[in-house]
């Protein structure tokens, strides 16, 4: 059985001081979580995060990772730097990275490769635009994103990663895909994995939904057979809301 995994993506929010406060609120609220819990704060909060969450059930993630070990890559960060802080997960290919920072299928694949080579689990994001959904292109587009991101991975590697299905039109907009719509696309992603990497990898890979997931809709999304968790933006910035998503409490 796949263990559910809920990850908070704080994006470009929280100073180190504010991060300390939020982690301190989250630790007691999340201590009995039945699923895996990951927090991806900004890089500048990794130092306080490392100190505060040591010995707790909260795992540390980041929002990006570079493919090279070191070098002339201004503004980027390497796996070696991240490992120092005990980082275990890295979001790769978030639609905001693809949209605003020129991330491509190729660089997503290279970043995911670097994460895996360094014992960091990539959370690979895929998702269609509203135009693509309305034009009936969702399945073709997402399966090509998945194939490109996973290119060159072994079956065992694919079984160990996280894929996040995040329809772009649902991110930060308050518009969530219905649970049925999300399930349909997530099941299609699992099928794409099965075709390329076999049934075992497809049965093992954990696939999250992301896009305006909140305490109200989390339970119905999580009840879907192929949805194994969530990547939470806005609702991860408030301790109580995030804890309720983790507990899947309905209001």
Residue 101 makes contact with ligand PGA by CB under 6 A: no
Nearer to ligand PGA, 28 or 172 (CB): 172
Residue 212 binding ligand PGA, by CB under 6 A: yes
CA angle at residue 212 from 218 to 241, to 5 degrees? 55
Least distance (Å) from ligand PGA to the CB of residue 175? 9
Q: How far apart are CA 137 and CA 3, in angstroms?
A: 31
Which one of 22-30, 103-111, 150-158, 204-212 is the stretch in contact with ligand PGA (CB under 6 A)?
Answer: 204-212
CA distances, 12 to each of 40, 62, 196, 211, 228 (Å):
10, 11, 35, 17, 25
157-190 burial code (b ≥16 CB/10 A, e <16): bbbbbbbbbbbbbbbeeeebbebeebbebbebbb
Nearer to ligand PGA, 92 or 232 (CB): 232
Six token digits for residue 160: 């160990």
Binding to ligand PGA in span 158-197, by CB under 6 A: 166, 171-172
**Tokens 């305490």 belong to residue:** 215
Q: Please, which residue, 165 or 197, has the CB nearer to ligand PGA?
A: 165
Q: Which residues form the catalytic set?
A: 94, 166
Output the smallest distance, CB 88 to ligand PGA, in A: 18
Helices first, then strands: H and E counts in the chain: 12, 8
Subset of 225-244 contacting ligand PGA (CB under 6 A): 231-235
Contacts with ligand PGA by CB under 6 A lie at 9, 166, 171-172, 210-213, 231-235
């Amino acid at each position: 059985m796949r263990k559910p995994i809920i990850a908070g993506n704080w994006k470009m929010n929280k100073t180190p001081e504010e991060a300390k406060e939020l982690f301190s609120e989250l630790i007691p609220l999340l201590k009995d979580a039945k699923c895996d819990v990951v927090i991806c704060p900004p890089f500048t909060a990794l130092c306080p995060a490392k100190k505060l969450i040591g010995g707790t059930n909260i795992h540390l993630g980041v929002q990006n990772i570079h493919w090279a070990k070191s070098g002339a890559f201004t503004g980027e960060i390497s796996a070696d730097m991240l490992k120092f802080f005990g980082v275990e997960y890295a979001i790769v290919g978030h639609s905001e990275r693809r949209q605003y920072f020129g991330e491509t299928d190729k660089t997503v694949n290279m970043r995911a490769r670097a994460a895996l080579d360094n014992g960091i689990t990539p959370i690979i994001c895929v998702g269609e635009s509203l135009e693509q959904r309305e034009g009936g292109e969702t399945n073709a587009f997402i399966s090509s994103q998945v194939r490109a991101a996973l290119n060159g991975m072994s079956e065992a590697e694919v079984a160990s990663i996280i894929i996040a299905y995040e329809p772009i039109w649902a991110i930060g907009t308050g518009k969530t895909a219905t649970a049925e719509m999300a399930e349909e696309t997530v099941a299609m992603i699992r099928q794409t994995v099965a075709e390329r990497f076999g049934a075992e990898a497809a049965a093992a890979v954990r696939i999250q939904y992301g896009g305006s997931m909140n305490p109200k809709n989390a339970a119905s999304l999580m009840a879907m057979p192929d949805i194994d968790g969530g990547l939470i933006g806005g609702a991860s910035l408030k301790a109580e809301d995030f804890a309720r998503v983790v507990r899947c409490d309905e209001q």
